[in-house]
Structure 1
Amino acid sequence: MIKVKATYYYIVFLSLVAAIGGFLFGYDTAVISGTISEVTEQFSLGSIAQGWYVGCALLGSIMGVSIAGSLADKYGRKKVMILSAVLFSVSAIGCALAGTFNGLIVYRIIGGAGIGMVSIVSPMYISEVAPSSIRGSLVSLYQLAITIGFLGAFIMNFQLLNFAESNQFEMDTVLYKIFNEEVWRGMLGMETVPALLFFLILLLIPESPRWLVINNKTLKAEQVFSKLYSSIESGKQKVQEVMEQSGQIGVSNWKLLKNPGILKPVLLGMAIAILGQFMGVNAVLYYGPSIFEQSGLSGGDALFYQVMVGLVNVLTTILALIIIDRVGRKKLVYFGVSGMILSLILISFYFYGSDIYALPSIFLLVLFLAYIFFTAISISAVIFVLLSEMYPNKIRGLAMSIAGFSLWLGTYLVGQLTPWFLENFGPSGTFMFFALMCFPYLYIIWKKIPETAGKSLEEIENYWLEKR
């Protein structure tokens, strides 16, 4: 039996480093919510152009995720994470200094490519270094980092909006333009700090040992496994296990999808990835301030409410991280998605009733917080865990790219279409649509996806290959 306690803290350290990519993902995704009004006004954007401003980064994410798996399989998980850190840095600096709307779009797309890459490679890396007993919790660190990134973006937006009124910098300077005159530039540009930190700290971690085995670098793999599992004997044992399992499915390429035992989890991963985006969470994160303003709040109050949403998101994700390996992935989904359906229906009724009755905005905040609680403890906590562990080792990068492409395609469509939904169906109809989309997701998890808690990656691989 392999002992993991002796190197538990080292494994957690590696997971935390990879999870910084999640923070950048969350910040880049959520920071847009505080800039929409100012950018729309400054560049005179209509609803379609506004949707393009929000959705263009997601288009970059689709591009990034499309190549991330292949790059990770060919060059390694670590190098792709380093590339994503470079893209985040270029995007943040470029957005802060962009002179035109088209230039802003280009830099947002570059940042989106970084998001797409890191959304695949960071959880993949964590799953490949984590022992099965705590893999769910460690991969959930990535989701926790995303929520902290959300909260960090909301707080940064709120603080910079207040800071802009203090006029700390001299007029007609670059800093005055970024932090006072056009504060949205500061909101987008502050991502530079964590992006550079991510780049530097990545230089301290090793490559994924499972990737090293698959690419016939067994000596290096033994060295890494030995650090993870406290002894040379344990390292050699883990290398042997991975080699025996990977030998069953041949070389990683698209032809492997002809194998029913591989094609089925890939298709199911695509389904839960894209459906999860149509259940409303990203619409709340992107357009939360705008939706709150529609309920009668001022811009500052709307951003404060969004900070509350972000705080609940973080605290609930911490709870999910603690219980995901004990309760299991599927039970969390059953509980959480049921609560999401109820919350979304009540939010829809709130907006429908507010057209007739003067309902207090505090009711809307409570319903939004309930929705975020149920989302964070279920689909948000589970999705990256499942996608990082449900595929065979040799095809994990390619399969996660396919699932990630579906996830970001759904996210892009939601970001692009939400302004149109709100304009044509109103908030009430929009949130009712999100509620309906929860039902097929529940069915797939119930009938098609196995419970993966407590199983090694090789055991999960055997499940699909034997089920064919």
Structure 2
Amino acid sequence: MISGRQMVIYGMLFASGTLIGYDSGYLNGVLGSSDFIQRYGVQEASDGDWYLTPRTRSLFTSLLVVGTVLGTITANFLGDWVGRKGSLLVAAIAYATGVSIQAAGVPVGAFVVGRILLGMGLGIISVVSPMYLVECSSSGTRGRLVALYTLLLTCGNVLACGISLGTKHFQDAESWRITVAFQLLLALNVLIGAIIAPESPVLLVKRGKPDMARQSLSILQNIDPDSTDLTSAMDEIHHWINEQKAHGTVHLIECFQGSNLRRQLLGIGMAILTIATGITFWFGYGTTFFMEAGIGNSYLISLLLALVNAVFTAPSAYLVERLGRRTCLLWGGVVMAITQIVPAVIHSVTPGSRADHNALVAGAVIFIAAYATTWGTIGWVTMTEPYSQRLRLHQSTITMIVYWISTWAIAFVTPYLVDATAADLSVKVCYLWFGMVVLSLVWAFLYVPELSGLSVEEVDMLFDLRIPAWRSVAWQKSLRSVEVGQEMEEKPSEGVVSIKPDLK
């Protein structure tokens, strides 16, 4: 049974994921609002229509990364100073302030400041929330909790698209202000949850408060305070904290030394390629892109894409542990590549035709379904779980800085790629995404090891032994067979044949 307090705590963490998902979708609809376009756009001399220039769209979308980078850097300092609770409180306040400024309909400069403040909140949340989940979970629940976190992230996108669809018929500022202001409710959820949540047990042990850490872990994992399971979990935390102390003060350069270099490059690579597959394009520019491609009901299609994203993220909570990280990434990447190349080829052969439009919409739907089930979830898991307890905060911060910079780069470049006044690639941009998906597939095969079911100690062992990614599944099977052999060797009195494990 899950306690009421535990529900509030995880509700807060998942609401923080919803904030990230909502931000990726709400501006998409706002940029399509006629009132917003007249407020921040320019008027064509020929027919008098109002439009947002590529520069303005890039400015509003991409400068968010200034705030997110500041937020991720800030999270690195806040983490040990005010703790995970305090970091989430700061994030909620910064986020709410940024939302309020944007909803006020201020001039361009002030609107950008609001985006930066909002980004700071997102940056802190993107580092602290997944890290808090990992620190509070066991090896058997780690992947599922992060998967559920990404599910709520996708639900935020659905909320944004749904509210944009519901307000698109308004002619005045309500057509976009309601969409923007709704984020205040999400920020309030994070604020309340952060007040109620206990501090991270790992951080409490670091501060020399083992009794409080034990109580915190009991609440977060819903374990009896006097159980042996809780004692084992606390022993594991103490083990890694003592090892960290034995190595002295943490230095940033350690993130790029020894086996930690591979862990850091794993997180950085996933941060880049998760975005470079094109997902930001579909959710950041889907509405306006479908409009310019000649497809009607663009708001409805964007909502459909968001719903598909949320629905197909749900199975990932099961598949991430049942099939494993590598299998999900490889098979999902194959489907994603097909859904990008087919619409691009059809558009090249019959541009503007009914088949062209249908292939584009169908390709986008299937692409997002495959992405949500695999790369969307596994990306966050891989950016969160491979780090050691000693360097988790530092390496998570570096990874999220790269993630947000990658998001900014794609957001900044995309309008110039697809806009008719710039490169005018239109649907041909799918060729670019196809190439990036193929690159991501090769990288996943060569670099992403299977970490499903491994304890923190076993994850360290995998990296320390330099097990190649493509051999990680076989290595884990041999590890389990050795453990079974050792257990059988320890029970000869029960009639079990003693087996000597082959460690070769």
TM-score scaled by length of structure 1: 0.90
Match of 1:465 in 2: 464
In the alignment, which of 19, 23, 33 is matched to residue 18 of structure 2?
23
Distance 1:117 1:347 in 2: 38
Aligned to 1:436: 435
With over 3 angstroms needed to count, the CA separation of the structure-2 counterparts of 1:135 and 1:16, relative to structure 1, is: farther
1:358 is displaced (CA, Å) by 4.5
More moved, 47-56 vs 368-377: 47-56
Amino acid at match of 1:286: G
Paired with 1:366 and 1:428, the residues of 2 have a C-alpha distance of: 13
* From 27, 32, 35, the counterpart of 2:27: 32
Alpha-carbon contact 2:293-2:427 (below 8 Å) kept: no
Is 1:349 matched with 2:341? no
Which one-letter code corresponds to 2:345 in the other structure?
Answer: F
- In the alignment, the residues of structure 2 paired with residue 13 and residue 442 of structure 1 have an alpha-carbon distance, to the nearest angstrom, of 38
Alignment match, 2:447: 448
Find 1:156's aligned residue among 156, 159, 163: 163
> What SS class does the counterpart of residue 248 from structure 1 fall into?
helix
Amino acid in the other structure paired with 2:458: E
1:30-429 equivalence runs, <5 A: 30-38=25-33, 39-44=36-41, 45-162=52-169, 164=170, 178-179=173-174, 183-227=175-219, 228=221, 229-232=223-226, 233-249=228-244, 250=247, 251-257=249-255, 259-298=257-296, 301-355=297-351, 357-359=353-355, 361-423=357-419, 424-429=423-428
**2:140 counterpart SS class:** coil
Q: Secondary structure at the match of 2:383?
A: helix
Distance (Å, rounded) in 2 between the aligned partners of 1:16 and 1:190: 17
Query: Are the counterparts in 2 of residues 69 and 399 from structure 1 also a CA contact under 8 Å?
Result: no
**Aligned-pair CA distance for 1:84:** 1.3
327-336 or 52-61, which moves further after superposition? 52-61
Give the conservation status (yes or no) of the 8 Å contact 2:8–2:193. Answer: no
Task: Go from structure 1 to structure 2 and tell me whether the alpha carbon gap of 1:65 and 1:266 turns closer, same or farther (over 3 Å shift).
Answer: same
Percent identity between the two aligned chains: 22
SS at match of 1:388: coil
2:414 partner letter: T
For the aligned residue pairs, the C-alpha RMSD in angstroms reads: 2.1
The CA deviation at 1:342 is 0.6
Q: Deviations over 1:9-56 (max 9, x none)?
A: 976664332111010111122100011133344222421221111112
Q: Match for residue 497 of structure 2? A: none
| 1:394 partner SS | coil
8 A contact 1:67–1:401 mirrored in 2: no
Compared CA separation, residues 76 and 461, structure 1 to 2 (3 A): farther
* Residue 365 of structure 1: how far off its partner (Å): 1.8
Structure 2, unpaired ranges of 5+: 42-51, 468-504
Please identify runs of 4+ aligned residues in structure 1 that moved more than 4 A. 6-13
Q: Distance in 1 between matches of 2:277 and 2:150?
A: 17
Name the CA distance, whole Å, in 2 between partners of 1:12 and 1:134.
16
Q: Retained in 2: the 8 A contact 1:340–1:375?
A: yes
In 1, Cα distance between equivalents of 2:346 and 2:288:
16
Find the aligned partners of 1:49 and 1:354 in 2 and give their Cα distance: 32
CA contact (8 A) 1:154 1:310 kept: yes
Q: How many Å apart are 1:59 and its aligned residue?
A: 2.5
Q: Which runs of 5+ in 1 are unaligned?
A: 1-5, 166-176
Cα deviation code 1:320-363 (max 9, x no counterpart)? 11221111111110111111111111232243244264536343
Asked whether the equivalents of residues 70 and 398 of structure 1 are also in contact (C-alpha less than 8 Å), the reply is no
Task: Give the match's secondary structure for 2:32.
Answer: helix
CA distance in 1, matches of 2:6, 2:456: 16
1:96 is displaced (CA, Å) by 0.8
Query: Match for 1:269: what amino acid?
Result: G
Change over 3 Å in CA distance of 1:360–1:125 after alignment to 2 = same
Contact 1:226 / 1:234 at 8 angstroms: preserved in 2? no
> How many residues end up aligned between the 2 structures?
446
* Counterpart-to-counterpart distance in 1, 2:449 and 2:7: 26
**Residue range with higher mean Cα deviation, 446-455 or 395-404:** 446-455
CA distance in 2, matches of 1:216, 1:459: 26
CA distance in 1, matches of 2:448, 2:305: 30
Q: 2: distance between equivalents of 1:296 and 1:258?
A: 48
Q: Is the 8 A contact 2:30 2:176 kept in 1?
A: yes
Q: What's the offset of the Cα at 1:425?
A: 4.9
The structure-2 alpha-carbon separation of the partners of 1:410 and 1:144, relative to structure 1 and needing over 3 Å to count, comes to: same
In 1: Cα distance, 2:62 partner to 2:256 partner: 34
Query: Which residue pairs with 1:170 in the alignment?
Result: none
Q: Which moved more, 1:65-74 or 1:137-146?
A: 65-74
For 1:21, the aligned partner's letter is S
**Residue aligning to 1:173:** none
SS at match of 1:252: coil
* CA distance in 2: counterparts of 1:13 and 1:187, whole angstroms: 25
Q: Distance in 2 between the 1:26 and 1:389 partners?
A: 21
Contact map agreement 1:15 1:138 (CA 8 A) in 2: no
> What letter is aligned with 2:116?
I
Residue pair 1:28, 1:111 contacting (<8 A) in 2 also: no
1:388 Cα deviation from its structure 2 partner: 1.7
Deviations 1:194-249 (A, max 9, x none): 21122112211111112222333322112222332323344333222222223334
Whole-Å separation in 2 of the counterparts to 1:437 and 1:143? 22
Q: Which has the larger Rg?
A: 2
- Distance in structure 2 (CA, Å) of the matches to 1:311 and 1:356: 26
Q: RCO higher in 1 or 2 (8 Å CA, sep ≥ 6)?
A: 1
Q: 1:10 to 1:464 in 2, by over 3 A?
A: farther
